[in-house]
């Protein structure tokens, strides 16, 4: 999200999280947003800052500026970096993993003690926001207790398949580019329709 009017419209939907992307190379970069643009957002919508290999002090400044309650780490951040963020900024940590085969899930083991949630996205040359899906069957080999966000190119064409999923630790659906009119501008009606299938 990066446009104030669009954020206001989104705030009226029954969503649980709203993401601001602070990766300067992203077309969805939200760092130019005035914090007052979030003033009407209800407190029950968690504000997630999305970062890619960002400097820890910069993360801290943005946590304070936008009152972020979660940070989503989408790069090669180490377990120790996750712990430092958690302790210094009092935020919950969502660590993203790029998945193309079950071996990619092995890496989660090192992060169990330092993250609140995992997020499984498609492995692409980009760090995220590719709009591409991965083979969800791979997640059958994910046996850890940490709940996960399912991500990566989810669209309204996936509604029936999502309803058939039976992963006990699937915690949330993370949607992005397939619900956009243009990068950073969400299609509110399309999102609302999607949400009604799951709420």
Ligand X SMILES: O=C(O)c1ccccc1N[C@@H]1O[C@H](COP(=O)(O)O)[C@@H](O)[C@H]1O
Among 1, 7, 26, 111, binds ligand X (CB under 6 A): 26
Task: Tell whether residue 50 is a contact of ligand X (CB under 6 A).
Answer: yes
Q: How many residues does the chain have?
A: 199
Rounded Cα distance between 26 and 3, Å, is: 15
Tell me how crowded residue 15 is: count the other CB atoms within 10 A of its CB.
Answer: 18
Range 79-118, binding ligand X (CB under 6 A): none
Question: Is the separation of the CB atoms in 23 and 29 below 8 Å?
Answer: yes
Task: Tell whether residue 2 is a contact of ligand X (CB under 6 A).
Answer: no
Taking the complex as a whole, the smallest distance from the CB of residue 17 to ligand X amounts, in Å, to 10
Taking the complex as a whole, the smallest distance from the CB of residue 119 to ligand X amounts, in Å, to 6
Look up residue 146 and give its two tokens.
Answer: 């940490």
For ligand X, give the closer residue by CB, 87 or 120. 120
For ligand X, give the closer residue by CB, 87 or 189. 189
Could you tell me which stretch among 4-12, 78-86, 101-109, 145-153 binds ligand X (CB under 6 A)? Answer: 145-153
Rounded Cα distance between 10 and 186, Å, is: 8
Task: Tell whether residue 21 is a contact of ligand X (CB under 6 A).
Answer: yes
For ligand X, give the closer residue by CB, 25 or 87. 25
Rounded Cα distance between 13 and 73, Å, is: 25
Picking from 182, 191, 192, the residue whose alpha carbon sits closest to that of residue 3 is 182
């Amino acid at each position: 999200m990066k446009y104030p009017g669009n954020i206001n419209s989104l705030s009226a939907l029954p969503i649980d999280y709203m993401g601001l992307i602070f990766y300067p190379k992203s077309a969805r970069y939200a760092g130019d947003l005035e914090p007052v643009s979030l003033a009407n957002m209800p407190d029950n919508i968690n504000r997630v800052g999305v970062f890619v290999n960002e400097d820890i002090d910069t993360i801290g400044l943005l946590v304070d500026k936008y009152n972020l309650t979660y940070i989503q780490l989408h790069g090669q951040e180490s377990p120790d970096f996750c712990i430092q963020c958690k302790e210094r900024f009092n935020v919950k940590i969502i660590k993203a993993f790029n998945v193309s085969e079950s071996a990619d899930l092995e890496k989660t083991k090192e992060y169990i003690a330092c993250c609140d949630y995992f997020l499984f996205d498609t492995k692409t040359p980009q760090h995220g926001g590719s709009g591409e899906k991965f083979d969800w069957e791979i997640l059958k080999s994910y046996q850890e207790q940490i709940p996960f966000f399912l991500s990566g190119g989810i669209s309204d064409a996936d509604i029936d398949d999502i309803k058939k999923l039976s992963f006990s630790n699937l915690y949330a659906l993370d949607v992005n580019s397939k619900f956009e009119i243009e990068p950073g501008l969400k299609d509110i009606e399309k999102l609302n329709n999607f949400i009604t299938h799951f709420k």
